[in-house]
Structure 1
Amino acid sequence: MPSSPRRALIVIDVQNEYVSGNLLIEYPDVNVSLANIGRAIDAANRHHVPVVLIQNIAPETSPLFARGSAGAALHDLVSSRPHAQVIEKALPSAFAGTSLGDWLKTHEIDTLVIAGYMTQNCDDSTVKHAVHAGMSVEFLVDATGSVPYENRAGYASAEEIHRVFTVVMQSRFAAVLSTDEWIGVLESGAAPVRDNIYMSNQKARARG
């Protein structure tokens, strides 16, 4: 069995819908996150980390990600770069109803690196699915992104959503890194910093 970590970069739903369609990423700025997604893919390819592109597809009648629509197409920034696999999904988690779990097992992957959209939805669902399956996760905070929401529960800006979800991820579910930090980890072999719920809570309480 290969020694850990054996990584795969999972690039979730980098589709035109989020860049020029009906669900525009607002935070971090989509041009920033796109550039970092490209850098992450390039670094993964340099370091022989397989890249898996995830593509969300909805029925043809859907207002978002409708099969065959321009919005559902993978953005050229990711589709034009070398990748090992493209996997379609219809639910938030990239594992749910897909071949991803089997693909990871076949390739003896034990660590998922998450980039793409959206932080609070498909990214978060995939992160937790991976953790519950016994995998380690690394989350690229500036190669992901959110949109704002308003509904009967209230309003939250894209920045609030992204910040809170990433703080929670770092407390238990993932090592949250910038793209630069992650590339540094690949180059140095150092382990990324991880936290836990207890220490995260103690630090917050110490703020007074």
Structure 2
Amino acid sequence: MSTPHRALIVIDVQNEYFDGQLPISYPPREQTLPRILQAMDAAKLAGVPVVVVRHLAPAGSPIFATGSHGAALHPEVSARPHQLLLDKQYASCFTGTGLGAWLCERGIDTLTICGYMTHNCDASTIIHASHDGYRVELLHDASGSLPYRNTAGSASAEEIHRVYCTVMHTGFAAVASTDDWLAALASGSALAADNVYTSHLRASGKLD
């Protein structure tokens, strides 16, 4: 693989996920926030552009209402430098934001994803980027999920995070720890994803 030309995409690290209506529970936000900040600091030192994204909903919305405390960036993220701040209304950071054009202008070919939520805006952005030809990396300890229950069933935050990370690693993204990403950043190397075929063979006991 050629040396990646990265951008770090910090997705929706907003108060809503800390002291608002949607507290991230797995991995615990007390663990994931320091990893997100570590990635931002490392990106700055390495000259990797940082894109900060926030999700905004109309005023009066129960979550992410424009101008509300919940919609504001976490203060530790807000205090750190970034090259681009984007507001979005959809799950994918590409939809209606101009992100694709900004990345293209700078010759970015690899996106490192961190932030919230693993199974929603992270996953949507990853799949969108993968389909657009980017190499993608997901920092599994710098992202997180919350539990769900609806008429289709229920799942814990741990189940949702684990399953989405496993699926993303089958080719949509290279899923790695922040430490592994920092090592790759320092060496100028790319992180590798798995694929559907070998992931299935392992689960079937046909491949070690």
Which bin holds the TM-score, normalised by the shorter protein?
A: over 0.9
State how many pairs are aligned.
206
- Residue 4 of structure 1, CA deviation: 4.0
Partner residue, 1:124: 123
Name the amino acid aligned to 1:194.
A
Query: In the aligned structure 2, how far is the partner of 1:155 from the partner of 1:132?
Result: 29
Can you list the C-alpha shifts for 1:139-188, whole angstroms capped at 9, x where unaligned? 00000000000000111000000000000000110000101110011112
- Give the alignment of 1:1-208 within 5 angstroms: 4-206=3-205
* Change over 3 Å in CA distance of 1:193–1:152 after alignment to 2: same
Gaps of 5+ in 1: none
Gaps of 5+ in 2: none
* Change over 3 Å in CA distance of 1:184–1:9 after alignment to 2: same
Name the amino acid aligned to 1:20.
D
SS in 2 for 1:171: coil
> Which deviates more from structure 2 when the two are superposed, residues 77-86 or residues 160-169?
77-86
Q: Give the root-mean-square deviation of aligned CA atoms.
A: 1.2
Asked if 2 retains the 8 angstrom alpha-carbon contact of 1:4 and 1:110, the reply is no
Deviating above 2 A after TM superposition, structure 1's stretches of 4 or more consecutive aligned residues are none
Asked if 2 retains the 8 angstrom alpha-carbon contact of 1:115 and 1:144, the reply is yes
- Residue 193 of structure 1, CA deviation: 2.9
> Which deviates more from structure 2 when the two are superposed, residues 72-81 or residues 185-194?
185-194
SS in 1 for 2:18: helix
Query: In the aligned structure 2, how far is the partner of 1:80 from the partner of 1:112?
Result: 22
Asked if 2 retains the 8 angstrom alpha-carbon contact of 1:141 and 1:176, the reply is yes
Can you list the C-alpha shifts for 1:39-75, whole angstroms capped at 9, x where unaligned? 0000101110000000100000100000000000011
SS in 1 for 2:171: helix
Asked if 1 retains the 8 angstrom alpha-carbon contact of 2:4 and 2:188, the reply is no
SS in 1 for 2:73: coil
Name the amino acid aligned to 1:143.
A
SS in 2 for 1:104: helix
TM-score, normalised with respect to structure 1 = 0.97
Can you list the C-alpha shifts for 1:5-54, whole angstroms capped at 9, x where unaligned? 11000000000000110000000000100000000000101110000000
Asked if 2 retains the 8 angstrom alpha-carbon contact of 1:140 and 1:177, the reply is yes
Query: In the aligned structure 2, how far is the partner of 1:144 from the partner of 1:70?
Result: 21
- Residue 191 of structure 1, CA deviation: 2.7
Asked if 1 retains the 8 angstrom alpha-carbon contact of 2:129 and 2:136, the reply is yes
SS in 2 for 1:140: strand
Name the amino acid aligned to 2:98.
S
Asked if 1 retains the 8 angstrom alpha-carbon contact of 2:3 and 2:189, the reply is no
